Amino acid sequence: MALLGAHVDSADPLSAAQAIGAEAVQFFMGDPQGWKKPPPHPHAEALRDSDVTIYIHAPYLINVASTNNKIRIPSRKMLLQHAEAAAGIGAKGLIVHGGHVTAKDDPAVGIENWRKAFERQEEAGGFPLPILIENTAGGENAMARKFDRLAMLWDAVGQYEPGFVLDTCHAWAGGEELDHIVDRVKAITGRIDLIHANNSRDGFDSGADRHANFDAGTFDSQVIADICRAAGSDVIIETPGEGIAADLEYLRTRAR
């Protein structure tokens, strides 16, 4: 495990990091449920100059895979806007969910939409920082819930060298066994750039994206520590705030 950190409020990420002893932070640059261009961050200079490693999470509404033009086209635009904003504060990567298509759609179309998004941006000069695709918990026609679909996605976009974020809650709730999961992911993507270390409030293959603190989840949190150690990548905890300091301490003592 390289660096250990947490998702924090965007208002003052460095103070939040100091308060919990985080070496890395993740936050949103704008409204996670909105379509607006992210505003300049008030602490941009301090963030650029800080030793704290920064990851930015893209808004949840982004769905590059969508077959709906009114969603897909704004999603591409917003992905670039948030990538530019993240690069402007020195972020290490922009995290985006794999997205989905509707039940009546061919998943191959969603995968092709992802490929086109990377291809078109490559022609325009590329993204200004790594785009890190995250596995998701729900949706039968999701691009990155089940690993057989993830393999199809990577076959289509791997040439553009996106990064990958492994969320332990999403994997569990999405129906992927956690045993040997690092090896299984790397066999598909060749890499794990970041771990989202979360327990789950819901059971295996529930499809529910509801994070739980390590002492309140539905699977043994030692598995999270083992995954973090095996991956050797940076770790961001996204568990409920009241228990996040204890979750950080848990990984400090068990994952290193």
CB burial string 118-147: b at 16+ within 10 A, e below: beebeeeeebebbbbbbbbbebebbbbbbb
Q: How many CB atoms lie within 10 A of CB 230?
A: 17
pLDDT at 55: 98
Query: Are the C-beta atoms of residues 103 and 138 closer than 8 Å to each other?
Result: no
pLDDT at 172: 98
d(C-alpha 70, C-alpha 224), whole Å: 38
pLDDT digits (tens, 9 = 90+) for 16-70: 999 999 999 999 999 999 999 999 999 999 999 999 999 999 999 999 999 999 9
Query: Hunting for tokens 């699977």 — which residue is that?
Result: 219
- Give pTM, 2 decimals: 0.97
pLDDT at 220: 98
Rg, C-alpha atoms of the chain = 17
Query: Hunting for tokens 């985080």 — which residue is that?
Result: 22
pLDDT digits (tens, 9 = 90+) for 86-140: 999 999 999 999 999 999 999 999 999 999 999 999 999 999 999 999 999 998 8
d(C-alpha 62, C-alpha 30), whole Å: 13
pLDDT digits (tens, 9 = 90+) for 43-57: 999 999 999 999 999
CATH architecture assigned to 4-241+250-255: Alpha-Beta Barrel (3.20)
SS3 per-residue string spanning the chain: CCCEEEECCCCCHHHHHHHHCCCEEEECCCCCCCCCCCCCCCCHHHHHHCCCEEEEECCCCCCCCCCCHHHHHHHHHHHHHHHHHHHHCCCCEEEEECCECCCCCCHHHHHHHHHHHHHHHHHCCCCCCCEEEECCCCCCCECCCCHHHHHHHHHHHHHHCCEEEEEHHHHHHCCCCCCCHHHHHHHHHCCCCEEEECEECCCCCCCCCCEECCCCCCCCCHHHHHHHHHHCCEEEECCCHHHHHHHHHHHHHHCC
